[in-house]
Amino acid sequence: MTSRLSPYQAFIALGSSIGSLLEKKLMIEGAIRLLQSVGQVRYTSAFYLNYPVGGVAENRFLNGALVLATALKPHQLLCELLNFEAKLGRVRQVPNEDRLIDLDILFVLHQSKTELKPLQIKTEHLIVPHGKLTERAFMWWPFIEVLAPLSTITPLGHEAQLMLDQLTQEAGAHALADQDCWYQKVVRVSHG
Ligand code: ADP
Ligand code: MG
């Protein structure tokens, strides 16, 4: 449930590609613990091993998503995500390289008086919905997985429905056709 104290439902993608599968899983669990310090983790997807996409990364990625109910505005949340990445040891060198942890904002809903409305943000530092959400199966499928339980419990509202229909159409041309990137569904990661 959203509340007046946590009016945002932020869909966050988590990814890790350095170390053993166990180390990646521990990294994701560490990130989830940090996220719990800025909101309530409501739903988590399963986590999946994927081949790297579009860059210099060579390792398999462990990817999934969750919904965080939070009071933080999207820019404040992004700031925290970058802090958490640094805290967990991430150092940026080149784009799309292997990384200990990646925390991206996929989509944000805001609770108005009666319904959940989607946010649309385009600034230098933050784009929401995430620019690659519908292109990358490793983002799209976990997103859909956590959207399903949320939308059965909380009315999404007309605007959100419209935006999701449009995103689904886009995904049909990209991520939905990209199922080959799924390598292996991995155990559910715990969030306490
Ligand atoms: P990527 O996630 O694309 O592999 P990085 O994690 O290095 O790359 O992020 C680079 C920058 O992307 C961040 O510093 C942030 O300012 C910007 N960015 C823009 N939109 C988003 C978003 N929705 N979620 C996370 N970062 C974003
Ligand atoms: Mg990122």
Rounded distance from Cα 176 to ligand 1 centre (Å) = 23
Query: What are the residue ranges in the chain where pLDDT is below 50?
Result: none
Q: pLDDT tens digits, residue range 48-66? A: 988 888 778 889 999 999 9
Q: Give the C-alpha separation, 106 to 7, whole Å.
A: 17
pLDDT of residue 114: 82
The CATH superfamily holding the domain 3-187 is 7,8-Dihydro-6-hydroxymethylpterin-pyrophosphokinase HPPK (3.30.70.560)
pLDDT of residue 67: 97
Q: What is the dihedral of CA 5, 88, 28, 11, to 10 degrees?
A: 40
pLDDT of residue 192: 56
pLDDT of residue 139: 93
- Give the pair of three-digit tokens for residue 11: 């869909």
pLDDT of residue 176: 66
Amino acid sitting at position 92: R
pLDDT of residue 164: 97
CA-82 nearest atom, ligand 1: 14
Q: pLDDT tens digits, residue range 122-157? A: 999 999 999 999 999 899 999 999 999 998 888 899
Residue owning the nearest CA to atom 18 of ligand 1: 126
Amino acid sitting at position 134: T
pLDDT of residue 20: 94
Residue owning the nearest CA to atom 4 of ligand 1: 96
Q: Give the C-alpha separation, 174 to 113, whole Å.
A: 35
Rounded distance from Cα 102 to ligand 1 centre (Å) = 9
pLDDT of residue 144: 94
Task: Determine the Cα angle at 86 with ends 82 and 90, to 5°.
Answer: 110
Residue owning the nearest CA to atom 25 of ligand 1: 104
Burial 91-119 (b: 16+ CB within 10 A, else e): eeeeeebbbbbbbbbbbbbbbeeebbbbb
pLDDT of residue 191: 62
Rounded distance from Cα 169 to ligand 2 centre (Å) = 24
